[in-house]
Amino acid sequence: MRFQGKRIFVTGAANGIGAATAQLFREEGARVHGVDVADADGVHHCDVTDPASVQAAVDTAAAEMGGIDVLANVAGVNVFSRLEHMTLEVWNRHLAVNLTGPMLVTQAALPHLRASRGNVVTVASISGIQGQPYNSSYCASKGGLRLFMKSLAVELAADGIRVNCVCPGGVDTAMSAHALDNLQGEVDMNLISRMMGVLDSFMPPVKIAEALAFLASDAASSTTGAELVVDNGTLW
Ligand SMILES: NC(=O)c1ccc[n+]([C@@H]2O[C@H](COP(=O)([O-])OP(=O)(O)OC[C@H]3O[C@@H](n4cnc5c(N)ncnc54)[C@H](O)[C@@H]3O)[C@@H](O)[C@H]2O)c1
C-alpha cells in the first residue's frame, strides 16, 4: 500500500499503460483521477493538447481529491511514417500529444504539486533515445519530452517536486499493434528488428506501471531527472 492516501492524476487512463497504471495505483491505496480522449468506465474526458480541457480536468481532479500528489503523464500517439510520406498533420499530432500535452498538464498541475511537494512521472520511450526507422516524428517528440522533463527536474527541485521518466521498449498495447498500419513502401525488417529486445519482444503494460509506481513512491525520494529504461534489453 505504497500510495495510501495519495491523490494521483493519470492521463491516457482509458487504455494500455495508462489503464494499468491507474489500476496499480488504486490497488496500492491511491485515489486516482484518470483522464483520456477515449471513453472508458470511470475515466474523465480530457484532451491533453487543449489548454482549456486540461485546465478544467486538473481543476476538477484537485477539487474532487482535495489536491494532487502525483501526476502520471501517460497519454500518447504513435503512427509510423517514412519521411517522404509524412504529412504535416502527422508530425504536428506527435508533437501536440506527446510533447505539448505533458507540458500543458504539468503546468496546470504545478500549483497542486507545489502544495503537496509531489512528483511527476512521465512515459517517454526508448524511441526518444535511439533513432528508429520510419518513426522520426515519434522519436523527435519523445526525445523532446525526455529533455523537457529533465529540465523540470532541475527547475522544480527547490519546490520539493521530483520529475522522472520511464522509457519503455515494446509494450503489448493497441498502440504497438497498430503503429505500422499506415506505413507505405517496402519495410527493411533488418532495421525493424533492431527495435526488438533480447528478452520477449513485447511486455505487458503492468511492467511499465510498476516502474512508474517505483519512481512515484517514497522509495525513489532521492531520484529526480532520471530515466528508467524498461525495454526487454533493446538498448544494450
Ligand atoms: N506500446 C508501446 O510499445 C510503447 C512503448 C514506449 C512508450 N509508449 C508510450 O506509452 C504511453 C501509453 O501508450 P500505450 O502503449 O498504452 O498506448 P494506448 O494507445 O493503449 O494508450 C494511449 C492512450 O492515450 C490516449 N490519448 C491519445 N491522445 C490523447 C489526447 N490528446 N488526450 C488524452 N488522451 C489521449 C488514447 O486515447 C489512449 O487511451 C504513450 O505515451 C506511448 O507513447 C508505448
Q: Quick one: which of 25, 34, 29, 70 has its CA closest to 221?
A: 70
User: What one-letter code names the amino acid at 210?
Assistant: E
Predicted confidence at residue 224, as pLDDT, reads 98
Q: Quick one: which of 149, 16, 129 has its CA closest to 75?
A: 16
Q: Is 197 in the pocket of ligand 1 (CB under 6 A)?
A: no
Cell (9 digits) for 140 = 523527435
Q: Is residue 96 part of a domain?
A: yes
Q: Is 173 in the pocket of ligand 1 (CB under 6 A)?
A: yes
What does pLDDT average to in each consecutive run of 10 residues of the chain (236 residues)?
98 98 98 98 98 98 98 98 96 98 99 98 98 97 98 98 98 95 90 89 96 98 98 94
- Please give the number of the atom of ligand 1 that sits closest to the Cα of 171: 3
Instruction: For residues 210 and 196, give the distance between their C-alpha atoms in angstroms, rounded to a whole number.
Output: 21
| CATH value at residue 14 | 3.40.50.720
Q: Is 176 in the pocket of ligand 1 (CB under 6 A)?
A: yes
Q: Is residue 1 part of a domain?
A: no
Measured in Å, how far apart are the chain's first and last C-alpha atoms? 33
Q: Is residue 235 part of a domain?
A: no
158 CA to middle of ligand 1, Å? 31
Pair 18, 43: CB distance under 8 Å = no
223 CA to middle of ligand 1, Å? 25
Q: Roughly what angle, to the nearest 10 degrees, separates helices 136-155 and 101-116?
A: 20
Which strands make up the sheet holding 31-36, listed edge to edge? 44-45, 31-36, 7-11, 70-73, 119-123, 162-168, 227-230
Predicted confidence at residue 205, as pLDDT, reads 98
Q: Is 49 in the pocket of ligand 1 (CB under 6 A)?
A: yes
Q: Is residue 25 part of a domain?
A: yes
Q: Is residue 236 part of a domain?
A: no
Q: 203 has which bridge partners? A: 171
Pair 128, 147: CB distance under 8 Å = no
The pTM of the whole model exceeds 0.95: yes
Instruction: For residues 227 and 217, give the distance between their C-alpha atoms in angstroms, rounded to a whole number.
Output: 15
What's the domain range around 209?
7-230
62 CA to middle of ligand 1, Å? 23
Cell (9 digits) for 111 = 500549483
Q: Whose CA is nearest to atom 42 of ligand 1?
A: 76
Q: Is 38 in the pocket of ligand 1 (CB under 6 A)?
A: yes
157 CA to middle of ligand 1, Å? 27
Predicted confidence at residue 64, as pLDDT, reads 98
Q: Is residue 149 part of a domain?
A: yes
Predicted confidence at residue 185, as pLDDT, reads 87
| Gyration radius of the chain's alpha carbons | 17
195 CA to middle of ligand 1, Å? 18
Pair 68, 39: CB distance under 8 Å = no
Predicted confidence at residue 236, as pLDDT, reads 84
Active site residues: 138
User: How many domains, in total, are found in the chain?
Assistant: 1
Q: Is 102 in the pocket of ligand 1 (CB under 6 A)?
A: no
Contacts made by residues 90-99, CB under 8 angstroms, sequence distance 24+: 90/137, 91/137, 94/137, 94/138, 94/140, 94/141, 95/137, 95/140, 95/141, 95/144, 96/49, 97/48, 97/49, 97/141, 98/138, 98/141, 98/142, 98/145, 99/141, 99/144, 99/145, 99/148
Pair 16, 75: CB distance under 8 Å = no
Q: Whose CA is nearest to atom 37 of ligand 1?
A: 38
Q: Is residue 2 part of a domain?
A: no
